[in-house]
Amino acid sequence: MREITENKEYPGYLLKCKEQLNLDSGKSISNFQIAYQTYGALNEQKDNAILICHALTGDQFPAEESPITKKNGWWDLMVGPGRPIDTNKYFVICSNVLGGCVGTTGPNDLNPETSKIYGLDFPTITIRDMVRVQKILIDELKIKKLVSVIGGSMGAMQVLQWAATYPESVKSIISIAGSLKHSAQNIAFDEAGRQSIMLDPKWHNGQYLDKDDKPENGLSVARMIAHITYLSEKAFQNKFGRNLQEKKDLSFGFGIDFQVESYLRYQGRSFVDRFDANSYLYMTRAMDYFDVSEEIYKNRKNIIDNEVRFLVLSFTSDWLFPTKESKEIVSLLNSIGSNVSFAEVVSDRGHDSFLLDEPQFFRVSEGFLKGIK
């Protein structure tokens, strides 16, 4: 049984599913829900829908004011009336991923079998599991084929998974700053972040909510580590250099001397107010497990038969998901005979470029979407 209701905690909707969801791990969950938001209007033919897949620390609020941050949505430059993803033309859907902490079932929710918070009893999930849940939502909305599935970073993993698993349900894919599989370096960064959380005494082996506690220090450090990877060396240099923070001389201590230190600490502190530590563990693990190469190759006939078009985008200064990894996506898609376009956007702002004001990126994305009929 499935039911769509208004979300009483956040703007948008909930799809409540009283059924069993089988996961890649061999385990399952039941009575799960999917939190999502929509923008624009679904036309009578239901053929103008676009699904946006959010990144690791994103949510279902890419546009307008975010109820989480009280600032513009994380992709407000990309999504909205007259934007590249034009909500005057498209019906835009964005859901919080499985394992998230903004309404979709995750480790900080109640386990219906025990009536206790899941914590680490929540099954380990994969990117394919996240996409499986998104497909349930799209089916419930009675949308047979999406104009496009679009996402950056962890969102790019999801869009490639859509192409591999459900090519009959998409006309096009836009993969932004992504890869076919998580690199050893990125797994290492993820593990450093997870260890910072798990070594915090307030983590309580994942049961911190039962103890009305929170591993704030560990989650803050995890965010600081990750945030370093989101910017380029030039972006750090241009923004901060070696400028001191509200002082003329070094303190010769271990407080904040440099502006960049103050910036990272702020990023860490603000993150703990809007994100769940266990969700961070589960979602980074899902990214580590991601490798869609073989599935795309095995399902190549369905991808070709359904005439899925691909746009692969990268940024020159992105060292987290460098251009060579996007070219690997293009190479695989070319090898199976798919229709793929590629663009490397010149930017000195690193991995986060896809969230910033990058006119070349906007032009290429908008032009590609205009060509999808």
Domains of the chain: 2-183+290-370 (3.40.50.1820), 186-283 (1.10.1740.110)
318 catalytic residue (yes or no)? yes
pLDDT at res. 170: 98
User: What pLDDT shows up at residue 360?
Assistant: 98
Of residues 352, 290, 293, 286, the one with CA closest to residue 319: 352
What is the distance between the alpha carbons of residues 258 and 198, in angstroms, rounded to a whole number? 28
Q: How far is the C-alpha of 348 from the C-alpha of 28, rounded, in Å?
A: 43
Among candidate residues 148, 318, 338, 352, the one labeled active-site is 318
Retrieve residue 112's tokens: 């219906």
Rg of the Cα atoms in the chain: 20
Q: For the stretch 77-94, what's the b/e string if a residue is b when 16 or more beta carbons lie within 10 angstroms of its beta carbon?
A: bbbbeebbbbbebbbbbb
Output the pLDDT for position 53: 98
pLDDT for the residue numbered 298: 97
Within 13 Å, how many C-alpha atoms sit on residue 247's CB side?
A: 13
CA dist 159 and 340 (Å) reads 14
Cα dihedral 252, 258, 260, 261 in deg (nearest 10): 40
The single residue of 153, 196, 232, 365 carrying the catalytic annotation is 153
Query: How many residues are there in the chain?
Result: 373
**What contacts 278, CB < 8 A, 6 or more positions away?**
106, 107, 108, 119, 120, 122, 206
Q: Please pick, among 59, 288, 351, 352, the residue that the annotation labels catalytic.
A: 351
Nearest to 343 by CA among 362, 320, 319: 362
Residue with tokens 């829908």: 49
Cα 319 from Cα 7, distance rounded (Å):
38
By C-alpha distance, which of 206, 219, 13 is closest to 107? 206
Give the chain's residues under pLDDT 50: none
Q: Where are the beta strands (DSSP E) in the chain?
A: 2-6, 13-22, 28-39, 49-53, 79-80, 85-86, 91-95, 110-111, 116-117, 148-152, 172-176, 309-315, 339-345
Q: If you write DSSP's letter for every residue of 232-270 in order, what string do you get?
A: -HHHHHHHTTT-BSS-SS--SSSS--BHHHHHHHHHHHH
- Catalytic residue at 153? yes
| Structure-block tokens of residue 53 | 């897949």
d(CA 147, CA 31): 30
C-beta of residue 86 within 8 angstroms of C-beta of residue 50: no
pLDDT of residue 44: 97
